[in-house]
Amino acid sequence: MANILDKIFSAKKVELETTQREVPLAEVKNKMGDQRDVISVMDALRASGEGSKIIAEIKRRTPFKGDLVEQFDPLVIARTYADSGAVAISILTESRFFGGSLQFVEQASRAVSIPLLRKDFIFDEYQVYESRACGADCFLLIATSLDKNQLKDLLELGKEVGLTALVETHHEKDMEKAFHAGAELLGINNRDLTTGKTDLEISRRLLKETRGMDHLLLVCESGIHSRAQIAEFEGLGIHAFLVGESLMKAPNISDKLQEFTGHGKTQPTG
């Protein structure tokens, strides 16, 4: 029986066929020239300065937990993130299961001056061009759902159009694919996308696979709820943290983000 990740990719393939008929690739490529210059997420993550590096995520809902926020205004959230110390912004653009839209990226690209990650279920070259055409600076590749050559080809295409790929892993086989593809920005997702279960032991275990690979920038994804967790994983070698749910559900997004960066007061967790 198909799991939720398989269902999402299957739905995405059907949706993409419609999109390609309605918006030919030539039109997408023309639109790429209308976007602002790409902002390097790698430079942003490598930049020196005080505070932990948080990639703050705009996510309306998930198939596991439903709606995350009542008052959802992606542009307001993007500005809040940028003003509160996020080093980059991740934006869900998958519509059916996550309530996202490419328009969220387009709007944010005109409103903030930090890198934008298009987070979606990407498997086709069209989607890479589409990511650049909507104003993204970076895009997600989920290693679990791509074979190693497909992953490498999409990553290389991203480079050709000026975009960095965040290669997301969840187990050792994913890591092998990421290394084969030449990933430089490597995410470790603590959430099993087939079940929704989150376990920080995933990062603790997979970090061992990256020993001696000083060229990698490592991103811990999912399951981060406290400043103490960030401090722990920084000590283990993580460079940045992609956080969505904790921020979306926070009573005050700005305060919670500043807590994560280390620039605000630590909030009680009880």
Catalytic sites, residue numbers: 57, 59, 119, 168, 189, 221-222
Burial of 22 per CB tally in 10 Å (0-12, 13-18, 19+): exposed
How would you write 73-111 as a 3-class SS string?
CHHHHHHHHHHCCCCEEEEECCCCCCCCCHHHHHHHHHH
Return the axis-axis angle of helices 125-133 and 25-32, rounded to nearest 10°: 40
Tokens matching residue 63: 């198939």
